[in-house]
Amino acid sequence: MTLEAIQTAAANAGLLTMGALHEDGNTIVLLGTGPAFWAAFSASREYLDGSKHPVDRWSKRVVGDLAKTFSGTCQFPSDGPPYPPFIRWALDSGPFFQSPVGMMVHPEVGLMISLRGALILPREIPLHQQDTPSPCLTCDGPCTSACPVDALSAGTGYNVTACHAFLDTEDGSECMSRGCIARRACPHSAKAGRTDAQSALHMRSFHP
């Protein structure tokens, strides 16, 4: 078994292998949405059946199938309490960093991070990871001034009240239909291949 084999299987299922690490003799592979996700998900029974939580149900089926294929187990951000330490896993895996607006950033998807699950293998496999610098080091930070209500900051935290109040206004309709303006301002976010339909679905889950 190789990390490359997992990456290929995950990509064929519509997921992006976003990071991996060793912990307690296990290999933890973090799987998220990328350019192939929307086509796979929007054709799935979970999307088409009209029931609640389609992305979570799709993720549990697809990541669960990958776990069976590679003789491992899986965990999801919604498992808990106690909840699996996805943020710590991400930051320890290498390619995730904290951005100036507080959210994590990833060189392949920018601020459009949506971790769908973790594949946990009961063995250590070679990761061949290289030190990856934060993409923010060479960026002039358009995300820091994009939010109309200045609700996002690594220094002061996330102003949930201001964000949600703005989303309820007419001006907030762009965030609801196309995704968070600050996330879209990140130059690397375009690599995520997010369609407006996908962003709108995520925003409806975030702010029903």
Asked if 55 and 205 touch (Cβ cutoff 8 Å), the reply is: yes
198 beta partners: none
Q: Give the Cα separation of 175 and 195 in Å (integer).
A: 13
Q: Domain total for the chain?
A: 1
3: three-class secondary structure by DSSP: helix
Q: What is the mean pLDDT of each run of 10 residues along the chain (208 residues)?
A: 94 97 97 96 96 96 98 96 96 95 96 97 88 91 96 94 96 96 96 94 90
- The distance from CA 59 to its chain's CA centroid, rounded to whole angstroms, is 12
Q: Give the Cα separation of 81 and 173 in Å (integer).
A: 33
Query: Which domain does 37 fall in, by range?
Result: 3-127+134-206
Q: What is the pLDDT of residue 208?
A: 82
Q: Give the Cα separation of 27 and 64 in Å (integer).
A: 16
Q: What is the mean pLDDT of the chain?
A: 95
pTM: 0.94
Asked if 134 and 97 touch (Cβ cutoff 8 Å), the reply is: yes
73 beta partners: 120
Rounded (10°) CA dihedral 42, 204, 190, 17: -60
28 beta partners: 21, 120
56: three-class secondary structure by DSSP: helix
3-state secondary structure 30-54: EEEECCCHHHHHHCCHHHHCCCCCH
Q: What is the DSSP string of 112-178?
A: ---EEEEEEESS-----------GGGG---GGGGT-TT----TTT---HHHHHHHHTSSTTHHHHHH
